[in-house]
Structure 1
Amino acid sequence: MSDSLLVEDATIDSYRDRFVARLSQTVPGRKEFVVGSASGCTLTSAEGREYLDMTSGIAVANVGHTHPDVVAAIIDQAQRYSHVNVYGRFVIPEQVEVVERITSVTAPGLDVAYLTSSGAESTEGALKLARKFTGRPKFVAFERSYHGRTLGALSVSWREEWRAPFEPLLAEVEFVPFGDLAAAAAAIDERTAAVIVEPIQGEGGIRIPTDDFLPGLRQLTTDAGALLIVDEVQGGMGRSGRWFSHQHWDVVPDIITMAKALGGGLPLGAIVSTAEIFATFVDPPLSHLTTMGGNPVACAAGIAAFDVMVRDSLVEASAQQGEYLRARMGEVQRDYPERIIDIRGRGLWCAFEVAGDGNLVARELQERGVLVGSVLNSAGTVRVTPPLIITKEQIDRFVAVLREVIETGIGIDVAEDAS
């Protein structure tokens, strides 16, 4: 508690007002609270109220907030150097170390990486890479997909209301239903540079396809001479109970995009592919560049976070604790089947679907000291993505509060049986 930003109420209100006045807003209104500190699976407001964090900052804090190993690595690296020319001139040892770790858990051949600062930046680079390597203009993406908000990433993200104000975007993008191999086969043609897919859809509501879907996409793209890009920005780094969610189906993609948890809490992303595919960025030289991607401090944090995951078997813990979490949520669903209509997930990438407004349910959970999240493309879905270090006792605490909220009926539309 002593590490929190504990300040007077008037100062807290001042921060909230100044935040709205000075930081460009894309969501209207004042924010819920002012952050004071975070540690492990707990976030503390400036007023000193503790919250159980079941969001991990949207699947970022996989090793927990302010993990001591990550903090120590950040301090050590910042004391030596925090930024130099990260591409084109010098060897940055921290970049080498983090990429060797990443590619140690990808499929053989996927052993070259381009480092970025965010998931959207990774998507942009992957789209450029696919177009340049294949010489083709078209992309196939999926309904309910989300790949970022920059222009290229937005072009392959599904929701029309966010794309329309910024059109024209990339000209040749075709969306097909997620999980529909026949529709994908009809869309993939000789003009297709790549199919981009989240193996498990994140903002679409933590939606898991049938077991034939990803292998089928792999075959379709291979037959068409197109590339398969898998978006592991949210699903990577152990979130699904495997290092990457596509590994549940033993599929080898051509390109992997990642970010979020990769940097241990700092901005770090990556595009992973083969040396052959990446060679196209050298002709002409400087076909792609970044100033901050692969920042040494972010790489040091990523190295420490990766090593913590290996040492503490957090990928395995994600799988085991995820089963426990869904089983416990299932107990609430069995008591209120008309209120919780579905529970989905792999590892600690989970969601429950309510017959109503997921945002209202999430808000009520927050009022009771638990942070969960909504998703962008599924109004009734509540996202549950705790740090991979979460304990069974913390899961039990979450489920107890969830039961209280579901019992109230807040945010639920369905009429209950008279019985």
Structure 2
Amino acid sequence: MSSLFPTYSRLPLELVSGNGTIVEDHNGKSYLDFISGIAVCNLGHAPEEVKKAIETQLQSIWHVSNLFTISNQEKAAELLVANSSADAVFFCNSGAEANEAAIKLARKHTGKSTIISFKQSFHGRTFATMSATGQEKIHGGFGPLLPSFDYLPYNDIEAVEGIGGEDIAAIIVEVIQGEGGVNPGTQSFLQAVEQKCKQLGALLIVDEVQTGIGRTGLPFAYQHYSISPDIITTAKGLGSGFPVGAMLGKADLIPSFSAGVHGSTFGGNPLAMAAAQATLETIFQEEFLQEVKQKAEAFLGNIKEKLKTVPSVKEVRGKGFLIGIELETEVKHLLDQLREEGLLALSAGPRVIRLLPPLTVTEEELQEASEKLLKVLGVSSNKSQYV
């Protein structure tokens, strides 16, 4: 009997080593990892530049708490600010913590209580972020949720335009719903959300926990849509596997997050900041992001073309290296088959295969993954190059 709570439906294997896109299990079998720790290992497994930064910090000091200056916080924050619409950063340990901070900041700054979210959204599993999440399966069994959270249909401009009231503090939105099925927002919808926030005197919170840090070929996914959020949350790809999250906000919000208002014992610790700084210095290079965009567009285009005549495939969608393949049937058995073929993928709801390769994936690895995927879905690839 395990001494762990059974809170996870674990796969029947243990991954014991990894380098780049390739991981190996406890039986010595190798896989192409298109899960990336659920969009965490954006630079692949054990990236050398991040490893060196952490090792250097390990020789210095590990933890001091935020009672003291941590210079790497300033350096990492400067990189996030320089590549976003934000002016200040609060560091924490996870995406849920980042969204908690965003909810607190929005309510304190505006003096209002209601947060508008969207159906099929996912913002975390703490009580506030679970309450912000628009999925019944996340809510079940916990009794009454926190009040003042309302959910609207995603990509529904009419529903957004109908929002009214004097007590709306913020609208929180994912520009691409990850856990909810890899559902990209339309530009007109996201711009309508931004406009409604301005009309109501509410803040626009964009949850970039899964989509941020280069996953879509830009520093943040909202930058594809010509919007300028007041608050951005990010986490998964920020530390290359080291636990770290961040909430970014515009300058006018700074007075509302003054000393003593919020905090985190471990948030922004020297080890996390060493990992984050090295990760950001690599990913936020223009040449790196351009290569991500080119590889991802070619891969997604190939998959769409090859699967468009497969009756069981309803839609292939996504942006960058966040890709969803929606089928007419549940995908669990297909994920099992992909794993047997040596390709790790995951679901986004019961009928969507989600692909999240490292941003450093090679063209050869994309070609191999494409062939495995097409084989399991019953399509002959003819060994044709995906580009």
Amino acid of the residue matched to residue 130 of structure 1?
A
Answer yes or no: is 1:383 the counterpart of 2:354: yes
The correspondence of residues 14-413 of structure 1 with structure 2, limited to 5 A, is: 21-28=2-9, 31-85=11-65, 87=66, 89-107=67-85, 110-282=86-258, 285-311=259-285, 313-336=287-310, 338-375=311-348, 378-407=349-378
SS in 1 for 2:248: strand
Deviation string for 1:3-48 (max 9, x for gaps)? xxxxxxxxxxxxxxxxx612222135x6421121111001111221
Residue 315 of structure 1: how far off its partner (Å): 1.7
Distance 2:142 2:165 in 1: 27
Using CA pairs under 8 Å that are at least 6 residues apart, name the structure with larger relative contact order, 1 or 2: 2
Distance 1:355 1:205 in 2: 13
**Please, which runs of 5 or more residues in structure 2 have no aligned partner?**
380-387
Q: In 2, are the aligned partners of 1:333 and 1:341 still within 8 Å (CA)?
A: no
Distance 2:374 2:276 in 1: 36
Amino acid of the residue matched to residue 291 of structure 1?
T
Distance 2:11 2:314 in 1: 30
Give 4+ residue runs of structure 1 displaced > 6 Å after superposition: none
Q: In 1, are the aligned partners of 2:208 and 2:232 still within 8 Å (CA)?
A: yes
Distance 2:287 2:18 in 1: 22
- After TM superposition, the score normalised by the length of structure 2 is 0.95
SS in 2 for 1:166: coil
Q: In 2, are the aligned partners of 1:188 and 1:220 still within 8 Å (CA)?
A: no
Residue 188 of structure 1: how far off its partner (Å): 4.1
Amino acid of the residue matched to residue 102 of structure 1?
L
C-alpha RMSD of matched pairs (Å)? 1.5
Identity of aligned pairs, percent?
36
Residue 314 of structure 1: how far off its partner (Å): 2.7
Residue 274 of structure 1: how far off its partner (Å): 2.0
Residue 311 of structure 1: how far off its partner (Å): 4.7
Distance 1:325 1:188, change over 3 A: farther
Residue 318 of structure 1: how far off its partner (Å): 2.0
Residue 312 of structure 1: how far off its partner (Å): 7.7
SS in 1 for 2:247: strand
Residue 127 of structure 1: how far off its partner (Å): 0.3
Distance 1:312 1:242, change over 3 A: closer
Distance 1:310 1:230, change over 3 A: closer
- After TM superposition, the score normalised by the length of structure 1 is 0.87
Distance 1:137 1:243 in 2: 30
Q: In 1, are the aligned partners of 2:118 and 2:153 still within 8 Å (CA)?
A: yes
Q: In 1, are the aligned partners of 2:219 and 2:284 still within 8 Å (CA)?
A: no
Question: Greater CA radius of gyration, 1 or 2?
Answer: 1
Amino acid of the residue matched to residue 96 of structure 1?
E
Q: In 2, are the aligned partners of 1:115 and 1:294 still within 8 Å (CA)?
A: yes
Distance 1:352 1:203 in 2: 13
Residue 122 of structure 1: how far off its partner (Å): 0.4
SS in 1 for 2:377: helix
